[in-house]
A and B are shown apart, each in its own frame.
Chain A
Amino acid sequence: MTTPERIPPRDRLMHLRDESVKAMRASEQLVERSFNEARFMASLAIGLALVGFLLVAQMRGQATFSSSLERQSDQNLAIIIEQLTGENNMLRSEVARLQMRLLEAGQASEDRTRVLNEATRELHSVAVIAGLEAASGPGIAVTVEDPDHVLLAQDFVRLINDLRSGGAEAIAINHKRVSATSGFEVSRGHPTLDGTVLASPYEIVALGQPGNLAQSLTMPGGLKSTWTTFPGVTVAVTEENILTVPAADIREFVAGTPVEDAQ
């Protein structure tokens, strides 16, 4: 600030004022410019951020579009159709194969069930014959009174024999099952079945065709006509629809073992 000496003090003051006003204006302008610059840069940054964001969204949308079917060329579409048709055919044959297997498996399981049912039925009849299970069904009930104990073991053996001839499937005397291994004895004047003393009156139950069973005992010259000639012995035979015989006592076989596949 070099002011010439010859300028009067008043003018010098005026000049100083002008200078200071100018400086103030300049600094004001500077502030405004920097303010403008900041605002401009901020909006530019926002614009660029928006551009980046839109760019990514656009690329993603374009990727989706490119992979969509409508963008594929005809040749590509033909190849895709061919592939899908082949896959479809393979899957169809797979389905058919699996259905066949399912059917076969069902058949096999049906067969197995049938065999199992048969075996079970057979097992039951074997168990009934062997006396392993209690059995019930039609048959005859025979009541024999022998107050004087004249019946011997062989008379009971004949009774069992006659009943079996008449088709008896299960026999019990006084609620004791007569099995394939049963035996009669007479001990101290009383008949016993497998060691159990039988007391009069004897209640005999035989399962089978009631008519046949009754006939096997009551036919002329049969057991009933023979036994009634013994002193004091009476025989009453009744046919029943439902009778029950208990299971035999389980007996362990020691000496005899099954011979399997004897050839």
Chain B
Amino acid sequence: MLSLLALLLALALGILLGLLTNVSVPVGLLTYIGVAVLAAIDACLGGVKASLERNFQDNAFISGFITNTLMAAFIVFVGDRIGVRELYLAAVVAFGTRIFRHLGDVRRLLFDRWGWG
């Protein structure tokens, strides 16, 4: 429970940092960073799920985080290059599905832990 709060605090800290530094993604990179953010959210939810399962493999998390975000951006890039601009939709669908599955798993795990199931 305490660790979950700490994670939420980290998320809030990142948002605060973004608000304070007034950084803005350039228009040309919007699609890339958008899909990368989806990948990052997916990786983080996966990490939360793993932590609830008491499966602490930080190597897996870090490598997954990095490769997923980079691959997501790369897919968008390839789509742009080969004229299939909608390729980014594939990444969006894939990561969206994963995000929802992870959310469901996390919910189930939390219910198990708090004895609501």
Could you list which residues of chain A lie within 8 angstroms of chain B, going by C-beta atoms? Answer: 33, 36-37, 39-58, 60-62, 64-65, 68
* 8 A Cβ contacts from B1-23 to A: 3, 6-7, 9-19, 22-23
Q: How far is the CA of A60 from the CA of B13 in the complex (A)?
A: 17
Q: List A contacts of B62 (CB < 8 A).
A: 43
Task: Please tell me if B30 contacts chain A, counting CB pairs below 8 Å.
Answer: yes
User: Do the beta carbons of A52 and B26 come within 8 Å of each other?
Assistant: no
Tell which of A36, A37, A47, A64 has the most Cβ of chain B within 10 Å: A47
B3 to chain A, nearest CB (A): 6
Stretch at the interface among B39-47, B81-89, B90-98, B103-111: B39-47
Q: Beta-carbon contacts of B45-56 to A below 8 Å, as 1s and 0s? A: 001101100101
Contacts A/B (CB < 8 Å), 6 sampled: A40-B58, A45-B10, A47-B47, A49-B11, A52-B11, A57-B25
User: Do the beta carbons of B14 and A49 come within 8 Å of each other?
Assistant: yes
User: Do the beta carbons of A46 and B15 come within 8 Å of each other?
Assistant: no
A60: which of B25, B37, B61, B65 is its contact (CB, 8 Å)?
A: B25
User: Do the beta carbons of A61 and B24 come within 8 Å of each other?
Assistant: yes
Tell which of B14, B16, B40 has the most Cβ of chain A within 10 Å: B14
B65 to chain A, nearest CB (A): 5
User: Do the beta carbons of B17 and A43 come within 8 Å of each other?
Assistant: no
The 7 closest A-B pairs by CB, nearest first: A52-B14, A56-B18, A61-B25, A49-B14, A45-B10, A40-B56, A52-B15
Q: List A contacts of B19 (CB < 8 A).
A: 56
Q: Quick one: closest B residue to A62, CB to CB?
A: B30
Task: Please tell me if B79 contacts chain A, counting CB pairs below 8 Å.
Answer: no
A254 to chain B, nearest CB (A): 84
Q: List A contacts of B44 (CB < 8 A).
A: 44, 47-48, 51
Q: How far is the CA of A159 from the CA of B65 in the complex (A)?
A: 122
Task: Please tell me if B36 contacts chain A, counting CB pairs below 8 Å.
Answer: yes
Size range of the interface on B?
35 or more
Q: List A contacts of B23 (CB < 8 A).
A: 53, 56-57, 60
Q: Would A58 and B17 be within 8 Å (CB), given that A41-B3, A45-B6, A68-B27 are in contact?
A: no
A40: which of B12, B33, B34, B57 is its contact (CB, 8 Å)?
A: B57
Q: How far is the CA of A152 from the CA of B34 in the complex (A)?
A: 119
A39 to chain B, nearest CB (A): 5
Q: Would A57 and B18 be within 8 Å (CB), given that A43-B61, A47-B65, A48-B44 are in contact?
A: yes
Q: Quick one: closest A residue to B33, CB to CB?
A: A58
Other than the given A33-B56, A52-B12, A68-B27, 15 more pairs (CB < 8 A) read A40-B51, A40-B61, A45-B9, A48-B10, A48-B11, A51-B14, A53-B18, A54-B14, A57-B24, A57-B25, A58-B33, A60-B22, A60-B24, A62-B25, A62-B30
Q: How far is the CA of A187 from the CA of B65 in the complex (A)?
A: 128
Q: How far is the CA of A41 from the CA of B50 in the complex (A)?
A: 10
User: Do the beta carbons of A36 and B56 come within 8 Å of each other?
Assistant: yes
Q: Would A36 and B58 be within 8 Å (CB), given that A45-B7, A49-B10, A65-B30 are in contact?
A: yes
Q: How far is the CA of A53 from the CA of B33 in the complex (A)?
A: 11
Q: How far is the CA of A50 from the CA of B52 in the complex (A)?
A: 21
Q: Would A54 and B40 be within 8 Å (CB), given that A33-B56, A40-B51, A48-B7 are in contact?
A: yes
Q: Quick one: closest B residue to A51, CB to CB?
A: B40
Q: How far is the CA of A37 from the CA of B40 in the complex (A)?
A: 20
